[in-house]
Chains A and B, each alone.
Chain A
């Protein structure tokens, strides 16, 4: 088992696109008696991290000052504030990296993911978790059961994203679900949909290798769209999967315009469509179909109350085998290589070991 050996707070920092550096930063201090200090063991990389590395911005969030990247982490508690009861030093945790204010209307009404003053790791101007140590409120660290590894712990974040999406989709037992995009989030949405009782889970992607994996991971059916009109792809999908009248729920985990258009034609009358993936901010959208079919379209943004907890449970009781998504683990000093690999579309999920991580095993790999 990996241990935290030193007190390095070496951090992986983005200056501007493609310009990264390693630098020691002051070790964070506990801001409140309910805070804990976590030594980061592993951090996964997601499309948004790569986007900042390539573009230096996402929408209105612009990297103006050097910023530590990373937000999908697991770690080990090293110290706890005086009023912390739920955790103790040595506990291994999944880290929920967004700190809401707790007082604004969204926070008070159960939507802290929409907090007006959210401080989210690696969303400018807030530093991320590709660093040695991370200070966190105790309720934003989730203890991992003994049999769950720290590498799996780094997958809790994207799994929580999938949990949140599937909850938005209101999936119920026996329903049919179509997921557009077989990247990590799409794959995890398939698995969570299945765990929520969906009887048909269709994974859609243009890459055959991804679909192959999806079928072995969680999908009951797969579908490869062609370069035809959205209505045509939709009709063929429903025919091939035997989903009559349209799918109960459709999730877009791709952000791609053709997928979103197809989704509205795939979903049944009165069904739910969830926009999880982020792509072009404005797209051509089949609004009349949405309107006359009385479809409910919901955005999904990060995760909220209960999502991390359920994600840990799904890993713990084997309902979602996140290990299979880990295709590589690299040492902290090789972080930039990991970003390059993800950008090149290699593998599914690559983990970067924390700077204090002693031993580093690649437990995935295809």
Chain B
């Protein structure tokens, strides 16, 4: 059970750990085949550089990774919904299921959540991983294992877009053309939004976004945030402002601009995490009677909807996979992502062959990832 382990001060080592035993009859054992890297894995100078993310301090070696897909290799005696050989997406957070939050339908807020790669719980960058069966989601046949690794960020987008209450005919403004922002656009479109706008500072990202899921894009200009908001509203004929704003950057300037571009009575969902404290236009939220919601991971039904969006081809994630790496070259993936290279980088499980054809324009990638 080869694992990719973060040690103190950003040092990565490979270690052969014992193969995990099934903790309960309802658990399954998965051979992890593909793992995506996310901003929180790298960007916030978190685990890698400083060994800390927010209040979670890396006190002992930690296995990273949480955006994974793999193949079921063993099942507990009580498992009925999956079988050996099934290809599954992993929902990598197991809540306690007994507290008020869990029982009340908001298990993402469980105080006893065991989430992959959040200390002290190991992540999925290993050969094997265990999960209860209800946290494994069978992939549609036409979805490759690499795309399966994107079900996690897609579920984040589903959660945020659902919190925003997007429905047919609405206008949605998304800040940040990274994977989450792009996926939020795709989900919003799939749920019926008629105007889906993406804002970023990089033109190349915006050009891709326009091909991928946005109906319009806007590049932030060198003027005040309110002026940018006015331009956005004018360019896209949102005379009242956007029905929904989603911020997938965590950046103060984007959040401020977004609040100014929100219509009266509109909903703003905060998905991206950045600084702990920012300057925030609370007066606007008050006088517009806006609703500003924090969004944290995903909850009941989100993975299911993500799978269905892929199954029905309402959303495609192939296009977002720009880089793949072998397991024993995983550190390159971290380096690449920290340099903001590409959109989504995938690390294969140990021994999984790299055959995915990652194409940027017209993806024809037909993965036959093999062990």
Contacts and interface: CB of A to CB of B under 8 A. Distances in A.
Interface string A253-286: 0000000110000000110000111111111111
Contacts of B275: 287-288
A113 B289 contact: yes
A284 B270 contact: no
A288 B109 contact: no
B279 A282 contact: yes
B240 A105 contact: yes
Contacts of B283: 59, 278-282
A276 B289 CA distance: 9
B291 A281 contact: no
Contact size range, A: 35 or more
Nearest to A289: B276
B280 interface: yes
A288 B286 contact: no
Contact of A295 (B240, B276, B282, B294): B294
Interface stretch (A137-145, A298-306, A350-358): A298-306
A287 B255 contact: yes
Contacts of B287: 59, 278, 299, 301
Contacts, number: 130
B108 to A, nearest CB: 7
A275 B280 CA distance: 13
Interface string A97-123: 000000001100101011010000000
Nearest to A114: B264
Contacts of B255: 287
Given A111-B265, A270-B109, A278 B286 contact: yes
B351 interface: no
A294 B295 contact: yes
A151 B324 CA distance: 74
Q: Most chain-A CB neighbours within 10 Å: which of B240, B256, B277, B289? A: B289
A299 to B, nearest CB: 4
A290 interface: yes
A299 B293 contact: no
Given A114-B264, A270-B109, A280-B283, A291 B294 contact: yes
The interface residues of chain B, by DSSP majority, are classed as: mixed
A296 to B, nearest CB: 5
A275 B285 CA distance: 8
Contact size range, B: 35 or more
B349 to A, nearest CB: 29
Contact of A291 (B240, B286, B290, B296): B296
Nearest to B105: A270
Contacts of A300: 286, 289
Given A292-B273, A297-B291, A298-B292, A284 B278 contact: yes
B126 to A, nearest CB: 26
Contacts of B274: 287-288
B236 interface: no
B260 to A, nearest CB: 11
Contacts of A34: none
Contacts of A277: 286
B289 A297 contact: no
Contacts of A285: 277-280, 282
B271 to A, nearest CB: 8
A289 to B, nearest CB: 7
A136 to B, nearest CB: 23
Given A283-B282, A285-B279, A291 B264 contact: no
A338 B230 CA distance: 41
Nearest to A293: B294
Contacts of B250: 287
B281 interface: yes
B284 interface: yes
B26 interface: no
Given A288-B273, A298-B291, 4 more contacts: A106-B265, A291-B296, A296-B292, A297-B293
Interface of A: 59, 105-106, 109, 111, 113-114, 116, 168, 245, 260-261, 269-270, 275-301
Interface of B: 54, 101, 106, 108-109, 111, 240, 250, 255-256, 264-265, 270-271, 273-296
